[in-house]
Amino acid sequence: MSIFVESSDVLPLVDLEVALPVGSLQDPAGQEGLAQLTGHLMRRGPRGLSQERFEDRLASLGARLSVDVSMRSTRIRATVLRRNLEPLLALLADVVWQPALRASDFAKLKRRAQAALIARRDDDQTLGAVCFREALFGEHPYGRTLSGHTDSLARIGVQQVKDFYAKNIAKGAFVVGVAGDVAEVEMRSLISSHFPRSRRARKKGSDVPATRVRRGRHVVIVDKPERTQTQLFIGTLGARTRDRNLFPLIVSNTAFGGTFSGPLMQQVRGVRGWSYGAYSRLLHSTQRDAWYMSTAPAAEYSADCAALQLDLLERWVDGGTKKADLSFAQRYLINSHCFDRDTPSKRLETRLDVELLDIPRSYVDKYDQLVARVTRQEANDATRARISPRDLIIVVVATASEVASSFEQLPGVRSLEIVPFDRT
Residues forming contacts to other proteins in the complex (CB under 8 A) are 8, 10-13, 51-52, 55-56, 58-64, 79-81, 84, 108, 111-112, 115-116, 118-119, 121-122, 124, 224-229, 259-261, 266, 269-276, 296-298, 328, 331-332, 334-339, 341-343, 345, 422
**How near is the Cβ of 220 to other proteins at its closest, in Å?**
19
**How near is the Cβ of 392 to other proteins at its closest, in Å?**
23
**How near is the Cβ of 141 to other proteins at its closest, in Å?**
28
Say if residues 24 and 137 touch (Cβ distance below 8 Å). no
State the DSSP H helix or E strand holding residue 240, giving kind and residue range, or none if neither: strand 239-240
**Toward other proteins, which CB reaches closer, 97 or 328?**
328
Question: 203: closest CA among 174, 224, 183, 223?
Answer: 174
Name 147's Cβ contacts closer than 8 Å, sequence gap at least 6: 33, 36, 113, 116, 117
> Cα torsion for 128, 131, 137, 138, to the nearest 10°?
-170
**How near is the Cβ of 155 to other proteins at its closest, in Å?**
20
Residue 415 CA neighbour count, 13 Å, CB half: 11
Say if residues 238 and 284 touch (Cβ distance below 8 Å). yes
Rounded distance between C-alpha atoms, residue 130 and residue 153, angstroms:
17
Question: 254: closest CA among 316, 341, 311, 297?
Answer: 316
Rounded distance between C-alpha atoms, residue 306 and residue 237, angstroms:
18
**Toward other proteins, which CB reaches closer, 239 or 268?**
268
Name 350's Cβ contacts closer than 8 Å, sequence gap at least 6: 340, 341, 364
**Toward other proteins, which CB reaches closer, 63 or 264?**
63
**Toward other proteins, which CB reaches closer, 83 or 171?**
83
Say if residues 329 and 316 touch (Cβ distance below 8 Å). no
Which amino acid is present at 297?
P
Rounded distance between C-alpha atoms, residue 22 and residue 144, angstroms:
15
315 burial level (CB within 10 Å; 0-12, 13-18, 19+): middle
**Toward other proteins, which CB reaches closer, 7 or 406?**
7
**How near is the Cβ of 403 to other proteins at its closest, in Å?**
14
**Toward other proteins, which CB reaches closer, 170 or 298?**
298
Which amino acid is present at 64?
R
**How near is the Cβ of 276 to other proteins at its closest, in Å?**
4
**How near is the Cβ of 421 to other proteins at its closest, in Å?**
8
Rounded distance between C-alpha atoms, residue 114 and residue 174, angstroms:
29
**How near is the Cβ of 250 to other proteins at its closest, in Å?**
15
Q: Which residues pair with 416 in a beta bridge?
A: 219
**How near is the Cβ of 201 to other proteins at its closest, in Å?**
27
**Toward other proteins, which CB reaches closer, 111 or 361?**
111
Question: 89: closest CA among 21, 200, 187?
Answer: 187
**How near is the Cβ of 11 to other proteins at its closest, in Å?**
5
The DSSP 8-state label assigned to residue 46 in this structure reads B
**Toward other proteins, which CB reaches closer, 115 or 210?**
115
**Toward other proteins, which CB reaches closer, 121 or 384?**
121
Say if residues 284 and 239 touch (Cβ distance below 8 Å). yes
**How near is the Cβ of 292 to other proteins at its closest, in Å?**
18
Rounded distance between C-alpha atoms, residue 33 and residue 38, angstroms:
9
**Toward other proteins, which CB reaches closer, 61 or 237?**
61
**Toward other proteins, which CB reaches closer, 9 or 186?**
9
Strand, helix or coil at 375?
coil
